[in-house]
Structure 1
Amino acid sequence: MAKKNSLSRTVQYWRLVDARTEKWVDEYDWENFLRQLYKKDDFDNEFDIDGIPLSGKIHSVKASNYSLLTSQLSQYDLPYVYDEDSAFTVVLSSSKDYTPNQKNSDTGNQAPMRLNGDEWEPVDNLFIYHLPFANMIAVMAESVSSKRAKVYAEWLNRVMIQQGLFKNDPDFRWTATPVVDPHAIQKIKNADRLKSVVVAGQFGNQVKKELSPLSSIFGQKLSKDIDGIRLEIKVSTVRGHSTQADEEKILDWYDDTFGSFQQLSDGSATTARVTAAENNSSYTEVDLINQRITRKRSVALNHDGAAVISYSGATEAILDATANDFETLWSLRQ
C-alpha cells in the first residue's frame, strides 16, 4: 500500500478570555511570553491536569510561508512586536494510555509499535500558534484524541502561576472560547458553489426533536412515529473526478433542500457545515450552527522512518490557514 505524504486537518481559531466571566481582556504580549519561556533551559513544562500529564514544548519555526502572514500584519498597527523571521509554535502533548499496533501490508499480521526505550511513550499532539493581536490562537489537533484549546488554556494558567505572572490579580485565569464570525451566513449566500455539505441531527419522540428540515428527503416512513434516530447526510465532490459544475449542482441542491440557514438553526440539526467558494477564492469551511471559523489544510507527513505530523509541518499548515483567514480574524479583533 502506497504511503500517504499528507493528511487533511482542520485549523480552528479560539480567543483566550477571562475564565471567570468569559469576557475579552486587554491584549497580552504572547510573543514576548513565549520567547522568554523558549530561552529558559530549566522551564518545567509538564503539569498534571485532570489526572493526565500534559507537557508543552515551544518551538521557533522558520516556516517558508510565514511571509504570507507577516506581509499582511505589516499593514496594521499591532500592539506588540513580533518576530518577522520565525513563528513560535507550542506543541501540547498528552500521553496515550496504550501503544498502537502496526500491520504488515502484505500479510495483514500485526505487531506492537516499538518505542525508543522505557522513558518514551506515545502521545497525541495539539499544535498552537498565537496570533499577535486580540489574544487569538490558531490550533490544529493531530488526532481526535488530542487535547483541545480549553485544556491548553489551563496549561497556560499552570505556567503563569509557576512564573508568578498572576500576582496583580491572583484569581485571574484564562479559558478559550471559539472565534465566531457573525458574517458566516453571508458567505453561503454569496457562494457560487459548494464543495461539500454535512448535516446531521437526532430526531424522534424520545429525543424530543422534530425531523424538519430533513423530512423532505426521507418521506413519510422516516418522518413520523419515531422514538429516536440519528441521521447524517454528507454530499461532497470526488477528488480527481468532480468538476466545478458539480460544485454548482451541490449548491443548487442545498438551496432547494434547506432553503436558508433559518431552517438549520431551529435546533433540530446538531451539525450543519458547508465548504464554499466565491468566484476564484479559496474554499472556506463555515459552521452554520456555531458560525465558527475553521479551515481545512493539507499537512505534510515526515517520512524519515515514520509518517508523522511534525511541528514544522503543522506550523506551515496553520500559518497558511491564518493568512487566508486574516481579514476576517482582524475584523473580529474588537
Structure 2
Amino acid sequence: MKKWMFFSYFLTFQAGFGLSQVMLSEEVGISPWGPDDEIGTLNLMSDQSRLEVLSRIGSGKIYDLGVEYFVGMPSFHALGDPAYKIWMTHTPKGTLIDNPNGMGDAMNAKVSYTGDAISMYTHMGTHIDALNHFGLNNKIWNGFSVDEYLGDKGWKKTGAETIPPIIGRGVLIDVLALKEVEQLPENYRINSSDLKSALEKQGTKLEKGDIVLIRTGQARHYEHADQYLDNYPGINLDAVKWLVEDQEIMLLGADNLSFEAFPPEREDNWVPVHTYLLAEKGVMFIEQMNLESLAQDKVYEFAFIGSSLKLRGASAAPMRPIAIPIQ
C-alpha cells in the first residue's frame, strides 16, 4: 500500500490524542546566547571559524548540493500547501502584440523580451528551516510567544531573514553506503549507531561546530515525486540527540523530504525530531539536498558554503549550498 502521503498518520494521531495530552514534558529552549538570540547554534560560527575552513580549501572543484525547482516537483500539497508554479509574464510575441513598453513594432520585433513569475511553498526544494517553523506550547526557540511575536505577515522573531550566510566545516555521513544496499528499507529510522558506524567506515571524525549532511540516497528519486515521497527513510531522535548533545554540531542537512522518518516514533508528538532541533535546541537544518555527487566521489570533508533568501518572517527559505573539498 502506498504510504508516501504520511499525513494520514497525523490524522490518526490527532484523533487518538487530545491536545491536553500532547507534548507534556517538552518545553522550548532558552538560548545561552542571550534573550535576543534568533539563530541558535549558528552562533557557533565566527570570523575565525570561517577563515579556518576556507584556508583549508585544496581544490577548485565545486559540488552543487541544491535541487532544481520545476512543475511537478515533490511538495507538501497534500497538507494544503501550494505546489510549485511558473507562468510567463512576458513573451516575445506577446510583447510585439501588446507593446507594453511603448517601443513599437520595429523595436519589439528586434528585441525579444521574456519574463516569468513563480509561486511556491517556502518548504520546497533545497531549503533551510528557520527556528520559528515548529514550536511547543505556543512558543518557539528562546521563549518567543505566538501571542507577542506572530503577526499577519509572519513572525517578528527568528524569521528566515535572520539566517546569516553559512560557512563551516561540512561532513557527509553516507548511511546508504554503510548499509551496502540499493535503497534503505521503507521508513527506516537512522540511529546513532548507524552514524557512528558510517563515520568509522569513512575514516571521518566530527568536530564541534560541524555542518553534518546525512545521505539516505533519496535524492536519486527526486525527479519522480511519487517515488521520492514514498516511505522515505529519515533520522530518529536518538541520532539527533547524539549529534547535538555529544558532538555539538552546528547545522544539519539531509536528502529526503522532511528530515525525520514517519510514521511518528512517539505517540505524544508527530514531529519529535523537528521540535527537538528547532524549538528545544535551536538547531536549524536543510532538507531536500542533493548529496549524490559528494557520495560518488567519496568526499566526506569539505568547506560548506550556503546562503538563503532573506524572506522576512518566513519559516523557511530556499538555499543553494555548495561544498568544496578541504585538506
TM-score category of the 2 structures, normalised to the smaller one: under 0.3
Greater RCO structure (CA 8 Å; 6+ sep): 2
As a proportion of its length, which structure holds more strand?
1
> Greater Rg, structure 1 or structure 2?
1
As a proportion of its length, which structure holds more helix?
2
Scaled by the length of structure 1, what TM-score is found?
0.24
